[in-house]
A and B are shown apart, each in its own frame.
Chain A
Amino acid sequence: MSNTTWNLDPSLESTALVQIKPQYELFIDGKWQAPLSKTYFDSINPADETHLAKIAWANQADVDLAVRAARTAYTNVWSQLSGAERGKYLFRIARLMQEKARELAVLETLDGGKPIREARDVDVPLACNHFFYYAGWADKLLEAFPGQNPVALGVAGQITPWNFPLLMLAWKIAPALACGNTVVLKPAETTSLTALKFAEICQEAGLPPGVVNIVTGYGDTGAALVAHPDLDKIAFTGSTAVGKQIQKACIGTTKKLTLELGGKSANIILEDAPIDQAVEGVINAIFFNQGHVCCAGSRLFVQESIATQVLDKLKFRLQSIYVGNPLDKNTDIGAINSKKQLQTIERYIQLGLEEGAEIYQPTCELPSAGYYCKPTLFTDVAQSARIAQEEIFGPVLTIQTFRTIEEVVQKANNTPYGLAAGIWTDKGARIFGVSQQLQAGVVWANTYNKFDPASPFGGYKESGFGREGGLHGLRAYLKFPN
């Protein structure tokens, strides 16, 4: 039989399960409240630029209402409950999220553009697991910190990014509630829908009003939240630039602060690595979630002796990556989250060309509507090139080579960031040797982008401070008076 061109048929996930309201209000004190600002903004689907919903745009007065509701709920209800009772609510929320997993996954994909495969297999199950995990800690805080008398902080203001909307919400809300705090959460403006669906889940779980409040809006809403005087804690995940502003705003206040910011993480392949697995790992490290991952392995370092082989394999592998409709179960790379972000990425690709780097993109067709970017490799990249120094937050990988381990450690650490790193080698001793020298909050060995609620996550240097996840994650929402 002669050769045939044989392609995958589209396999679209149904959106029938998902009900999106035409307009969303603010979720304050357990009720949907129209914004005092009387303004709304549009949420669109980045995959085809269609309108999804109108969403309330909270101003300072709205934020104030939300913080007051959270304070009242903290004083009168939440701080009076035992840890076991708080745990029950968290378990209930986790189970409800599991029940609605399919709906949440489709909603996340519609709103944010990520492939349904990732939303379904990573975002939603991990988010559920965070609630289950921290539900278990709620009545064991004394055992977690023996002799240290852990006490809740009070009211936490939390700001989440658009790359993993529901998962980041879970990272923030689950430990906060488990430790006995109440929260006001502001999701990113392009991805509010799963947070609003989460608010419905809180209602369904019978969570006391005011324990979780969701205020939607743009950066000014976030700024109003950060500036609010009656908060005990600010937790932010997002860009380093905004993180710095927040840190400034918190100077001279008693607010406890954790920041999880950007990254430009190094992924290092040593010559004895299992090459096929390493190539697969590189693909996962940079193209997972369109590269919209703060810990994305965006700088690849390959030992010189295997560089040609690795590069050839990477290029071949790129040909079988499916870029397109995020609702298609075959899709590996979905839509870029927003027009603004697509422009940023395109600007960096242009910059890479101007800096003299060699570009490689596979021959794939992109949908005509929506925001899409081909997976992109840059070789011949200088350590001083801006594309190798600045966070691009898209499917763009810079590739550099090295000869000695000393050299690669130096280059990997030569960045203002320090969030994550990857190392690929067959030798256990090298894993420990190199990872101890890397300034990164997480070092993955022979894998990448692996997350678990029990494992803490956070950065060095300008990638932020504080840890989320695991026992360490509790610390961020507790104080230890004696």
Chain B
Amino acid sequence: MALSMIDLTTLEGKDTPGKVRQLCFKAQHLHDQTSDLPKVAAVCVYPSMVGIAKKALGDSGIKVASVSTAFPSGQAPFSVKKDDTLFALENGADEIDMVISRGRFLAGDYQFVFDEIAAIKELCTSARLKVIFETGELDSLDQVRKISDLAIAAGADFIKTSTGKIQPAATFPVVLTMLGAIKDHFDKTGQMIGMKPAGGISSSKLALQHLLLVKEVLGEAWLTNEWYRFGASSLANDLLLQYQKHLTGKYQSAAYFSID
């Protein structure tokens, strides 16, 4: 289950078309030596790599998610963010992972942050919008709750903890606070919002604890990749390792699993 919820991610300045193509192959062939493995949910890349990823994934059913709005800092004028998003969409991105303007949020300019999310949402006609808060920069859980409510109201389909570039990232208190906002919104409106913790979830054990949190706070309806994603690069291999242990009773060397 956890494997199918992964957004397999590469977000580095040194990403090359070759690296992205490799990642896309991995996304479809996690470990062909093991049968009946699910595919990951999506591949998450920079806008410049969307076209390449789209082509590499073909009709595999795996989505292409693109970070946007001047990821990871969000420090660019809105016109640039808009073009950034449109470029990703034109290249075929199925999902947009936007970052909020943390500076404006911390300055108390909530209207600006709301409008920005709403405007990007408008561009995403068929794509699903994930809003990244970068909770490691937001100072307190009160702020996390505030931005969660704000992003949901502005039209986010998913709320996401972090870019993966800042620590701390998807800590349990932060994730629980965000799940609480999703739960309250659902209780009031009946509308489901997705959750994506990202950054630092690199082991199966952590993933399991996160899934339990979702199950107990939101319920089993959220336990699908439609409503829950892990933003992670190294989690997949640990899951594979643990699954092999489960099947064979023996731990394998990490060398048996391709790194990307």
Chain A positions near chain B (C-beta within 8 angstroms)? 1-6, 8, 276, 312, 320
Q: A6-B215, A320-B216 are in contact. Are A1 and B4 (CB under 8 A)?
A: yes
Chain B positions near chain A (C-beta within 8 angstroms)? 1, 4, 38, 180, 187, 211-212, 215-216, 220-221, 223-225
Interface-central residue, A5, A6, A8, by most chain B CB under 10 Å: A6
Q: Is the CB of A3 within 8 A of B180?
A: no
User: How far in angstroms is the closest Cβ of chain A from B139?
Assistant: 17
Q: How many angstroms from the CA of A2 to the CA of B225 in the assembled complex? A: 9
Q: How many angstroms from the CA of A16 to the CA of B212 in the assembled complex? A: 29
User: How far in angstroms is the closest Cβ of chain B from A375?
Assistant: 15
Q: Can you offer 24 A-B residue contacts whose CB atoms are under 8 A? A: A1-B1, A1-B4, A1-B38, A1-B224, A1-B225, A2-B224, A3-B220, A3-B221, A3-B223, A3-B224, A4-B1, A4-B220, A4-B223, A5-B220, A6-B1, A6-B211, A6-B215, A6-B220, A6-B223, A8-B212, A276-B180, A312-B187, A320-B215, A320-B216
Interface-central residue, A1, A2, A3, A6, by most chain B CB under 10 Å: A1
Chain B residues whose C-beta falls within 8 Å of the C-beta of A4 in the assembled complex: 1, 220, 223
Chain B residues whose C-beta falls within 8 Å of the C-beta of A320 in the assembled complex: 215-216
Other A-B pairs, 6, CB within 8 Å; known A1-B4, A3-B220, A6-B215: A1-B38, A1-B225, A3-B224, A4-B223, A6-B211, A320-B216
Q: How many angstroms from the CA of A320 to the CA of B219 in the assembled complex? A: 9
Q: Is the interface of A mostly helix, strand, loop or mixed?
A: loop
Q: How many angstroms from the CA of A8 to the CA of B216 in the assembled complex? A: 11
Interface-central residue, A3, A4, A8, by most chain B CB under 10 Å: A3
**Closest chain B residue to A312 by CB distance?**
B187
**Closest chain A residue to B5 by CB distance?**
A1
**Closest chain A residue to B176 by CB distance?**
A276
Q: How many angstroms from the CA of A190 to the CA of B215 in the assembled complex? A: 37
Chain A residues whose C-beta falls within 8 Å of the C-beta of B220 in the assembled complex: 3-6
Chain A residues whose C-beta falls within 8 Å of the C-beta of B38 in the assembled complex: 1
Chain B residues whose C-beta falls within 8 Å of the C-beta of A312 in the assembled complex: 187
Q: When A and B form their complex, what is the total count of cross-chain residue pairs whose Cβ atoms lie within 8 Å?
A: 24
Chain A residues whose C-beta falls within 8 Å of the C-beta of B187 in the assembled complex: 312
Q: How many angstroms from the CA of A276 to the CA of B221 in the assembled complex? A: 20
Chain B residues whose C-beta falls within 8 Å of the C-beta of A3 in the assembled complex: 220-221, 223-224
**Closest chain A residue to B226 by CB distance?**
A1
Q: How many angstroms from the CA of A470 to the CA of B224 in the assembled complex? A: 51
Chain B residues whose C-beta falls within 8 Å of the C-beta of A276 in the assembled complex: 180
User: How far in angstroms is the closest Cβ of chain B from A68?
Assistant: 56
**Closest chain A residue to B216 by CB distance?**
A320
Q: How many angstroms from the CA of A5 to the CA of B223 in the assembled complex? A: 10
Chain B residues whose C-beta falls within 8 Å of the C-beta of A1 in the assembled complex: 1, 4, 38, 224-225
Q: How many angstroms from the CA of A2 to the CA of B226 in the assembled complex? A: 9
The 8 lowest CB-CB distance pairs between A and B, nearest first, are A320-B216, A1-B4, A276-B180, A1-B224, A3-B220, A1-B1, A1-B225, A6-B215
User: How far in angstroms is the closest Cβ of chain A from B215?
Assistant: 6
Chain A residues whose C-beta falls within 8 Å of the C-beta of B224 in the assembled complex: 1-3
Q: How many angstroms from the CA of A3 to the CA of B216 in the assembled complex? A: 15
User: How far in angstroms is the closest Cβ of chain B from A282?
Assistant: 16
Q: How many angstroms from the CA of A276 to the CA of B1 in the assembled complex? A: 28
User: How far in angstroms is the closest Cβ of chain B from A287?
Assistant: 15
Q: How many angstroms from the CA of A46 to the CA of B223 in the assembled complex? A: 36
Chain B residues whose C-beta falls within 8 Å of the C-beta of A6 in the assembled complex: 1, 211, 215, 220, 223
Chain B residues whose C-beta falls within 8 Å of the C-beta of A5 in the assembled complex: 220
Q: How many angstroms from the CA of A4 to the CA of B223 in the assembled complex? A: 8
Q: How many angstroms from the CA of A320 to the CA of B179 in the assembled complex? A: 15
**Closest chain B residue to A317 by CB distance?**
B216
User: How far in angstroms is the closest Cβ of chain A from B230?
Assistant: 13
Q: How many angstroms from the CA of A5 to the CA of B220 in the assembled complex? A: 7
User: How far in angstroms is the closest Cβ of chain B from A45?
Assistant: 29
User: How far in angstroms is the closest Cβ of chain B from A228?
Assistant: 52
User: How far in angstroms is the closest Cβ of chain A from B17?
Assistant: 30
Chain A residues whose C-beta falls within 8 Å of the C-beta of B225 in the assembled complex: 1
User: How far in angstroms is the closest Cβ of chain A from B4?
Assistant: 5
User: How far in angstroms is the closest Cβ of chain A from B120?
Assistant: 28
Q: How many angstroms from the CA of A1 to the CA of B38 in the assembled complex? A: 9
Q: How many angstroms from the CA of A8 to the CA of B225 in the assembled complex? A: 21
**Closest chain A residue to B187 by CB distance?**
A312
**Closest chain B residue to A330 by CB distance?**
B212
User: How far in angstroms is the closest Cβ of chain A from B144?
Assistant: 13
Q: How many angstroms from the CA of A276 to the CA of B182 in the assembled complex? A: 12
Q: How many angstroms from the CA of A465 to the CA of B123 in the assembled complex? A: 69
Q: How many angstroms from the CA of A306 to the CA of B227 in the assembled complex? A: 29
Q: How many angstroms from the CA of A2 to the CA of B187 in the assembled complex? A: 22
